[in-house]
Amino acid sequence: MFSDAFRDLTKPNVLNIIEVIKKSQGMTVTQLSKAVELSYMGAKQQCEKLEALGYLKTWRVPRKSAGRPEKLYILTEKCSTLFPQAGVELSLNVMEGVKRFFGDSAPEKILFHHYEQQRSKWAAHVSRGKSIVEKATRLVELREKSGVFCQCHYTREVGFRIEEYHHPMQAIFEKFPSAIKQEVRMMEQLLGTKVVRTRVAQEKSGALVVYKIGVLG
């Protein structure tokens, strides 16, 4: 269910518990301890940690016989982000399909719609910034939540900029370069200033994209 890379970087007991509960309608600590081959206390401690982090919640159901209700652990909505979602491959297939059936300009129209929707969704949050720096910082927060690994950076030599280390739409950018221009345009509209995008080769960390912010406010 989870990728090998994800498993390598995560405690196996945590993923095992989440997988087992995902396949059930809720489980008690006793059931979990047997399913994942942990002691009762070990399973309980992991469940309590996951509950505190917001990945599990409890659900009490009456026992068929006399006694206190059973406490079952179930997954919260927060867990949905841990499981594979339809992603870049589906997006590329859709884009190729609309290009084939509706013409070469169709993918660009879809991308335009995407960035217009994103701009509209983000505008209120970004606009609360009182300066270009604050607006850019708010924009970075939103981009991070959407899967873009980036940060604001300032030095006297290069000025203020946004540095980007990963973008989930990179495969789409390579196939449909116009998407890059549309994203930059959206950023300019949100920040109210010119944004210049530059791709810089880095020896150790791979490709780094830099967005130079035109005017500080």
Same domain flag for 186 and 114: yes
* CATH number of the domain encompassing residue 11: 1.10.10.10
The answer to whether residue 143 sits within a structural domain is yes
Same domain flag for 76 and 100: no
C-beta of residue 72 within 8 angstroms of C-beta of residue 58? yes
List per-block mean pLDDT (blocks of 10 residues) for the chain, which spans 217 residues.
Answer: 63 86 89 94 94 91 74 88 76 91 93 96 97 95 91 86 90 92 97 93 63 76
Same domain flag for 78 and 98: no
Q: What is the pLDDT of residue 135?
A: 96
Same domain flag for 183 and 97: yes
The number of distinct structural domains making up the chain is 2
Same domain flag for 153 and 118: yes
What six digits make up the tokens of 45?
Answer: 């401690």
The answer to whether residue 87 sits within a structural domain is no
- Three-class SS of the chain: CCCHHHHHCCCHHHHHHHHHHHCCCCECHHHHHHHCCCCHHHHHHHHHHHHHCCCEEEEEECCCCCCCCEEEEEECHHHHHHCCCCCHHHHHHHHHHHHHHHCCCHHHHHHHHHHHHHHHHHHHHHHCCCCHHHHHHHHHHHHHHCCCEEEEEEECCCEEEEEEEECCCHHHHHHCCHHHHHHHHHHHHHHCCCEEEEEEEECCCEEEEEEEECCCC
Same domain flag for 44 and 150: no
The answer to whether residue 147 sits within a structural domain is yes
Q: What is the pLDDT of residue 205?
A: 46
What six digits make up the tokens of 129?
Answer: 């910034």
Same domain flag for 96 and 77: no
Q: What is the pLDDT of residue 217?
A: 46
Same domain flag for 70 and 133: no
Q: What is the pLDDT of residue 96?
A: 92
**Residue of 74, 86, 76 lying closest to 54 (CA atoms):** 76
Same domain flag for 96 and 156: yes
* CATH number of the domain encompassing residue 183: 3.90.1520.10
What range does the domain containing 64 cover? Answer: 4-82
Q: What is the pLDDT of residue 201?
A: 65
Same domain flag for 69 and 149: no
Same domain flag for 61 and 147: no
CA distance 56 to 208: 37
pTM of the predicted structure, to 2 decimals: 0.70
Q: What is the pLDDT of residue 62?
A: 77
What six digits make up the tokens of 23?
Answer: 């396949």
Same domain flag for 73 and 101: no
Q: What is the pLDDT of residue 204?
A: 46
